[in-house]
Amino acid sequence: MSRQGARPTRQDDDWWGELYDEATADTGPTAAPDSLDDRFASARDAVREEGPRPREPAPLPEPAPPPEPERTEPPPPEPERTEPPPPEPERTEPPPPEPERTEPPPPVLPVASADTPDHVGSGPPTYDPEPTALPSADPDALEDLVPDTVLDGARYGPCTLRAVSLRGDSARYRGEPRRDALLTARFGTGEQALVLVAMATGARTVPGAHLAAAEACRGIARAVGRSHRRLAEDIRAARRGDLKSGLHRLADRTLGRLRASTADGAATVSLRCLLLPADPDCRIRVFFGVGDGGLLRLRDGAWQDIEPRLTAGTADDTTAAPPGEPFRFRASVARPGDVLVLCTRGLADPLRDAEALRAHLARRWSGGTPPGLAAFLADARVRVKGYAEDRTAAAVWEA
């Protein structure tokens, strides 16, 4: 086949054949290098508008705009949060009443009355009512000094204890030490405990009498403390004979040791003690001792002197403990409302002799409500003309 026959016809719009036909004049050399881009530009110029235009590539589809957010109505505002009303308490039956307490609540204690008299009787005592001179002190024996006044108290079971020891008017005036000694102690715990009140008086004429009195109280406390379990059992069981013989032995041994260590000072020491069981079901109160003093009971507004009498043939008459001093013992059953008073001679003598003092203290201490410590001190120091010795007293109120 000849090339002429193979060439496409003009009617076919063969732009390629028209470009490369032998009849087509050469365009001539170009000033620019013959590159692929130059050839493409030359072909484009030759064809002009006659040949079909190459299809331009289809434009890329424009990216779809992002979808608009759906318009929604704004949410309605949240209602304000309010606390729900507290639920009404369920109605329940009232709790059953608590069982009655076996021990009464502590009583309200009165303070010292402003109208408490300084003295009773026909006139004021000779000495000033307040301390005047201090006792002489040894710088190498300061432990021998004793304070002007000692005050103590406690409450166990149905009984309330008040105890005081104060220097007498004459000793305050002369600057002498208080010859009375007071010791209160509890041995054991709970209802098995035993409370001891011990008081002693040294002789005025004996040097160091106040030291002998203090040692007598400490000595009997040591003896009772070592035997307190047996003593408490004997008291609860009301073994009067065992108590009397046992306490007599303890007092004799205590004063015997003191007499041996202090020459003649202990022979004239008066020692008086009271034992109070802490068991609320036990109402037995035990007194024992040697020497002068007083044991009185205030019952139904009237005073009773229950100091053991040491006449021949009585059950309380015993052999002497220290020489010349018989042992005294008494066990009594307390009643509600009783006030038991144990005291040294400095208060026992005016109580026995001065009706005005008995009436005043009966009025102050009756009624079942024990005084506070300050009120008890004010009562115990009410003076009577002619009585200026040290005063030591322990009073027990029975509920």
Q: Where do the structural domains in the chain lie, given as residue ranges? A: 119-136+144-398
Does residue 198 contact residue 221 with C-beta atoms inside 8 Å? yes
pLDDT class of 293 with cuts at 50, 70, 90? very high
Q: Where are the alpha helices (DSSP H) in 120-208?
A: 169-174
Rounded CA-CA distance 21/43 in Å is 13
- 216-237 per-position pLDDT tens digit: 999 999 999 999 999 999 999 9
pLDDT at 281: 96
Q: Residue 56 is encoded by which pair of tokens?
A: 């331009």
Cβ atoms of 168 and 388 closer than 8 Å: yes
* CATH architecture designation of domain 119-136+144-398: 4-Layer Sandwich (3.60)
Strands 391-398 and 194-201, by their bridges, are: unpaired
How large is the average pLDDT for residues 28-33? Answer: 54
Classified as helix, coil or strand, 288 is strand
Q: Work out whether strand 119-120 and strand 149-156 pair parallel, antiparallel, or are unpaired.
A: unpaired
**In terms of residues, how long is the chain?**
399
Burial 295-312 (b: 16+ CB within 10 A, else e): bbbbbeeebeebbbeeee
Bigger pLDDT: 132 or 113? 132
Predicted pLDDT at 101 = 46
DSSP-based three-state secondary structure for 155: strand
User: For residue 357, what are the CA distances in angstroms to 167, 373, 383?
Assistant: 19, 19, 8
Percent of the chain with pLDDT over 90: 59
Average pLDDT of the segment spanning 244-252: 97
Are 15 and 53 spatial neighbours (Cβ–Cβ below 8 Å)? no
Q: What H or E segment, with its residue span, contains residue 333?
A: strand 327-333
Q: What was the pLDDT predicted at 59?
A: 52
- Give this prediction's pTM: 0.70
> Tell me: the pLDDT tens digits for 57-90?
455 555 555 555 555 555 555 555 555 555 555 5
Closest-CA residue to 289 (of 198, 391, 182, 213): 198
- Checking if the pLDDT of 37 tops 90, the result is no
Q: Which of helix, strand or coil describes residue 43? A: helix
The model's pLDDT over 306-323, given as tens digits with 9 standing for 90+, comes to 999 875 444 443 433 445
Beta bridge partners of 142: none
Residues 150-166 have a mean pLDDT of 97
